[in-house]
């Protein structure tokens, strides 16, 4: 029996900071290396010129000509409404019609959210969608073995600056389903924490305290709520005053989009700083360089763990379709990886599982907030 065909992934080839070069090159890599099925969306003449320049014209990658582009400076909601022939919006339209299974874009993330809401629609009963990223974390090894590398899902990381308690509670469901369907998640009931400035019940903003009360009073079969957690809990297992975290760690950390984006950018900046600092210190002496040479396998492994481009992109969770948001400066390698991530999300049944979880458990009145 022939293996099932890969899902078709629509690539907004005009949205990134240096488009369309990285998008086209990433599409070529995905097709060559994994026989991916993609559609490039954008100015046809520019895309064909890039395919010729990069030696990919013979691959037969289909192109859908789009006459408009949503820029980083555009107002998200207005751009999505007015630029109906933009490469980004057309990508979402292809997902809605079934011509594509997912859309990938390095464009305006606010416009991605707006497209998800206007074109695909939010999942039934959901207040707001959210953007999820996976953060590397240390998980205790078994039987005294060294810790291993795991993942913790951080949600939201930029879609919603202002949130209601019901929104944050629903993010717990979105994040739990995402963590559950990832191969690295060891639990059927992911452990979810609420990001705060301390573990004590008296800490946090009024919205956080109300969210904490909501999650505590209405336990879900989809996840285990462990209470407040702090920023350091994202990255490593530790023994803590929070007895729910002892010997277990976290799978999901829930926060608003403003805080989540600050946490994400701070972590990325800290990673780059430590890498630059290490390189600087190694150059100071021959002995340090010899030591670095001996540590090269471990350093390469560490680089893979903290590699941002290796993540590809972040899923927009809570809309009725798969949409992957890439960094505006995403490289060809990141775009190719984002295509693979999109395929994995389609094949995992993430959308259907999340829809079912939301139907099974609702917080508050279920009233959706207004579109952007």
- The pLDDT, as a whole number, for residue 171 is 95
Locus of tokens 């555009």: 74
* Co-location of 184 and 234 in the same domain: yes
- The pLDDT, as a whole number, for residue 368 is 44
Which residue range is the domain that position 80 belongs to? 1-128+311-372
257-286 residue pLDDT tens = 999 999 888 888 887 887 788 888 888 888
* Co-location of 246 and 351 in the same domain: no
In a domain, 95, yes or no: yes
* Co-location of 78 and 172 in the same domain: no
Residue 25 has pLDDT above 80, yes or no: yes
Report whether 127 contacts 369 (CB < 8 A).
yes
Rounded Cα–Cα distance for residues 193 and 254 (Å): 6
In a domain, 362, yes or no: yes
- pTM score of the predicted model: 0.87
The mean pLDDT value for 191-195 works out to 92
* Co-location of 277 and 134 in the same domain: yes
* Co-location of 137 and 278 in the same domain: yes
Identify the CATH number of the domain in which residue 123 sits: 3.40.50.10950
In a domain, 238, yes or no: yes
* Co-location of 144 and 277 in the same domain: yes
Identify the CATH number of the domain in which residue 177 sits: 3.40.718.10
**pLDDT band (50, 70, 90) for residue 239:** very low
The mean pLDDT value for 323-332 works out to 93
Half-sphere exposure of 280 (CA within 13 A, CB side): 6
> Of 227, 262, 282, which marks where a domain is finished?
282
Residue 367 has pLDDT above 50, yes or no: no
- The pLDDT, as a whole number, for residue 370 is 44
Token pair in block for residue 169? 């509670």
How does DSSP classify residue 279?
H
- The pLDDT, as a whole number, for residue 146 is 73
In a domain, 304, yes or no: no
* Co-location of 175 and 269 in the same domain: yes
Instruction: Phi first, then psi: give them for residue 347, nearest 5 degrees.
Output: -70, -20
In a domain, 31, yes or no: yes
* Co-location of 262 and 315 in the same domain: no
Token pair in block for residue 114? 């707006």
In a domain, 305, yes or no: no
In a domain, 302, yes or no: no
* Co-location of 278 and 335 in the same domain: no
In a domain, 298, yes or no: no
Domains contained in the chain, number: 2
Of 189 and 182, the one with more pLDDT: 189
Token pair in block for residue 346? 């389609």
Residue 97 has pLDDT above 90, yes or no: yes
* Co-location of 240 and 337 in the same domain: no
> In three state form, how does the secondary structure of 12-78 look?
ECCCCCCCCHHHHHHHHHHHHHHCCEEEEEECHHHHHHHHHHCCCHHHCCCEEECCECCCCCCCHHH
**pLDDT band (50, 70, 90) for residue 184:** low
- What is the sign, positive or negative, of the torsion defined by CA atoms of 98, 102, 104, 107? positive
The mean pLDDT value for 134-147 works out to 74
* Co-location of 138 and 265 in the same domain: yes
Residue 208 has pLDDT above 90, yes or no: yes
Q: Return the percentage of the chain with pLDDT > 90, whole number.
A: 57
* Co-location of 335 and 223 in the same domain: no
* Furthest-apart CA atoms within the chain: distance in Å: 65
Residue 175 has pLDDT above 70, yes or no: yes
């Amino acid at each position: 029996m022939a293996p099932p065909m890969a899902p078709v992934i629509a690539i907004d080839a005009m949205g990134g900071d240096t488009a369309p070069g990285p998008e086209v090159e990433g599409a070529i890599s995905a097709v060559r290396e994994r026989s991916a099925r993609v559609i490039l969306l954008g100015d046809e003449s520019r895309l064909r010129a890039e395919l010729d320049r990069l030696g990919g014209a013979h691959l037969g990658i289909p192109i859908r000509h789009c006459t408009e582009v949503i820029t980083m400076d555009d107002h998200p909601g207005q751009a999505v409404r007015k630029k109906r022939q933009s490469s980004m919006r057309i990508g979402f339209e292809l997902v809605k019609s079934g011509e594509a299974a997912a859309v990938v874009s390095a464009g305006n993330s606010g416009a991605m959210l707006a497209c998800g809401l206007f074109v695909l629609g939010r999942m039934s009963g959901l207040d707001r969608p959210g953007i999820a990223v996976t953060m590397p974390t240390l998980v205790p090894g078994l039987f005294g073995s060294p810790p291993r590398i795991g993942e913790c899902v951080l949600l939201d990381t930029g879609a919603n600056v202002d949130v209601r308690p019901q929104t944050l509670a629903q993010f717990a469901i979105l994040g739990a389903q995402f963590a559950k369907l990832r191969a690295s998640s060891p639990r059927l009931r992911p452990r979810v924490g609420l990001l705060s400035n301390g573990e004590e019940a008296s800490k946090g903003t009024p919205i956080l305290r109300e969210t904490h009360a909501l999650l505590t009073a209405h336990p879900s079969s989809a996840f285990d709520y462990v209470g407040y957690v702090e920023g350091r809990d994202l990255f490593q297992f530790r023994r803590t005053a929070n007895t729910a975290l002892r010997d277990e760690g976290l799978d999901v950390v829930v926060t608003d989009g403003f805080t989540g984006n600050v946490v994400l950018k701070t972590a990325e900046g800290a990673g780059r700083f430590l890498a630059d600092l290490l390189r600087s210190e190694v150059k100071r002496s021959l002995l340090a360089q010899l030591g670095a040479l001996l540590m090269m396998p471990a350093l390469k492994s560490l680089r893979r763990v903290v590699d941002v481009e290796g993540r590809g992109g972040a899923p927009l969770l809570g809309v009725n379709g798969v949409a992957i948001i890439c960094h505006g400066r995403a490289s060809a390698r990141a775009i190719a990886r984002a295509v693979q991530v999109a395929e994995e999300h389609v094949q995992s049944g993430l959308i259907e599982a999340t829809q079912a979880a939301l139907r099974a458990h609702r917080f508050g009145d279920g009233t959706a907030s207004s579109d952007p």
